[in-house]
Amino acid sequence: MAKIWQKSVTVNELVENFTVGRDREFDLQMAAFDVLGSLAHTQMLESIGLMSAYDLQLVQQELKSIYKDIEQGNFTIAPEVEDVHSQVEMLLTERIGDAGKKIHSGRSRNDQVLVDLKLFFRHELQDVVEETGKLFRLLIELSEKHKDILLPGYTHLQVAMPSSFGLWFGAYAESLADDLELILAAYKITNKNPLGSAAGYGSSFPLNRTLTTQLLGFDSLNYNVVYAQMGRGKTERIIAQALSSIAATLAKMAMDQALYLSQNFAFVSYPDTLTTGSSIMPHKKNPDVWEVMRGKCNRLQALPTDVAMMTTNLPSGYHRELQLLKELLFPAFTDLKNCLHMATFMLQNITVNANILNDPKYAYLFSVEEVNRMVLDGIPFRDAYKQVGAAIEKGDFNPDKQVNHTHEGSIGNLMNAEITTAFDKLVGSFDFGKVDKAVNQLVS
């Protein structure tokens, strides 16, 4: 079957297979968003006189039918069809005739791909925010539940000072709140409308780009048509940075979990059904979930470099290798959402050890506490430090194992309420309701 852009020359099959690559596979994930873009674009075409009201009614009705097929898993891209855009347009033409041929007026596959990607990324980022929110709230819950249970804090992997499960769980919650700042930045860059930029240089048709912006629920336009095209690659790079930030938080958490589950630490435990065994060692309870998560998240932290290397030194305008960015970003969303989901699932089943500090090897944890108590009694810090150090050297150190931290963010003042308020404020900044309302109006 001829391509929608094809003229009298048939492209060599080897060239076609190489250049199309995995487009069909990833385009299936964009199918619903391609239809949304066309629903908005055709409404705009009718408003400026490039499509009759009758043709618009035919096109809108059939586009909504295709959208339902996609939602129900009944949409495919035929092997002889190049991409999702071609498949949708060909289905329309087959079903409603010439009206289906009119939907491409005033746009190029370049801005069609751009708007599909923006809509897809926007949807995926919303999923990431929602999964991050579930994990965040569980971490805050666990922090409050176990706030009075102490565990060793480490520097240089050496026993350092008292920490608590309240601090440990809460630290990862606040880390996710900071990660969400980057997701919000990526969302704001994503949520701008490139439709109407055509091949990157605008159109001679009197397009109403503000209308499609409103219909699709975008916050604003990519105003400059050249920049709209230049944004491809830049948007992906910013998203990659945001995803890698959450991945870094999860990777560190996974490393802690793997350590704390080991017999040498024994700070936490999980039901046997959530760990794996050894083929020859009957006692093993391996933290495979956390180890696989650590590997996936470490790989995700390389994502910004992968995207940057794909796009470095490209001049303005469209270039075919930009399609390869889908192979990097699409699986990354899937992996990160799976890791967030599994982290939440595992932590719902965690048991903490309430008696960790009964082990004599943790006695020196309280050396700083003892120094500080002496300072509060009026002894100069350097003198107190030397006295405690001398007692440790002689083996005479018998600390009071009470911790009396009251300042902001310490063991006795976790400030989880403030962290939660900051997180909720960030989530509210995304304004997902506006987007959901726009999408529902388009397909209703």
Q: What is the pLDDT of residues 110-124, one digit of tens each?
A: 999 999 999 999 999
Q: Residue 21: its pLDDT value, please?
A: 67
CA neighbor of 218 nearest in space, from 176, 240, 198, 190: 190
Q: Which residue has the tokens 């939602």?
A: 71
Give the separation between CA 153 and CA 162, rounded to whole angstroms.
Answer: 5
Across 231-280, the runs of DSSP E, i.e. the strands, are 268-269
Which class for 147: exposed (0-12), middle (13-18), buried (19 or more C-beta within 10 A)? middle
Give the separation between CA 120 and CA 143, rounded to whole angstroms.
Answer: 35
Tokens (6 digits) for 339? 């890791």
Euclidean distance between the first and the last CA atom of the chain, given in angstroms as a whole number: 33
CA neighbor of 253 nearest in space, from 241, 242, 261: 261
Q: Residue 2: its pLDDT value, please?
A: 45
Pairing of strands 150-155, 158-164: antiparallel
Give the rounded distance of the alpha carbon of 192 from its chain centre.
Answer: 18
Q: Which residue has the tokens 């690659």?
A: 233
Tokens (6 digits) for 358? 């009964």
Span 235-270, pLDDT tens digits: 999 999 999 999 999 999 999 999 999 989 999 999
Give the separation between CA 195 and CA 210, rounded to whole angstroms.
Answer: 10
Annotated domain spans of the chain: 13-101, 111-198+224-358+414-443, 361-409
Q: If pLDDT is split at 50, 70 and 90, which confidence band does 5 have?
A: very low
Tell me what percent of the residues of the chain surpass a pLDDT of 70: 94
Give the separation between CA 120 and CA 113, rounded to whole angstroms.
Answer: 10
Which class for 371: exposed (0-12), middle (13-18), buried (19 or more C-beta within 10 A)? buried
Name the least confident of 3-17, 249-263, 378-392: 3-17
Geometric angle at alpha carbon 401, from 395 and 402, rounded to 5°: 150
Bigger pLDDT: 317 vs 331: 331
Span 27-66, pLDDT tens digits: 899 999 999 999 999 999 999 999 999 999 999 999 999 9
Give the separation between CA 350 and CA 14, rounded to whole angstroms.
Answer: 53
Q: What separation in angstroms does the CA of 439 have from each of 40, 45, 209, 211, 408?
A: 10, 18, 17, 14, 43
357: left (phi over 0), alpha (psi -120 to 50) or beta: alpha
CATH topology of domain 111-198+224-358+414-443: Fumarase C; Chain A, domain 2 (1.20.200)
CA neighbor of 114 nearest in space, from 218, 22, 211: 218
CA neighbor of 146 nearest in space, from 119, 120, 173, 125: 173
Tell me what percent of the residues of the chain surpass a pLDDT of 90: 71
Name the least confident of 9-13, 174-178, 189-193, 263-267: 9-13
Tokens (6 digits) for 34? 């391609």
Q: What are phi and psi of 158, to 5 degrees?
A: -105, 145
CATH topology of domain 13-101: Fumarase C; Chain B, domain 1 (1.10.275)
Give the separation between CA 405 and CA 166, rounded to whole angstroms.
Answer: 13
One fold for 13-101 and 111-198+224-358+414-443: no
Q: Concatenated DSSP letters for 54-77?
A: HHHHHHHHHHHHHHHHHHTT----
Q: If pLDDT is split at 50, 70 and 90, which confidence band does 368 have?
A: confident
Q: What separation in angstroms does the CA of 18 have from each of 13, 25, 101, 322, 396?
A: 9, 14, 28, 14, 74
Tokens (6 digits) for 132? 């991050």
The pLDDT of 175-188, averaged and rounded, is: 98
Q: If pLDDT is split at 50, 70 and 90, which confidence band does 362 have?
A: confident
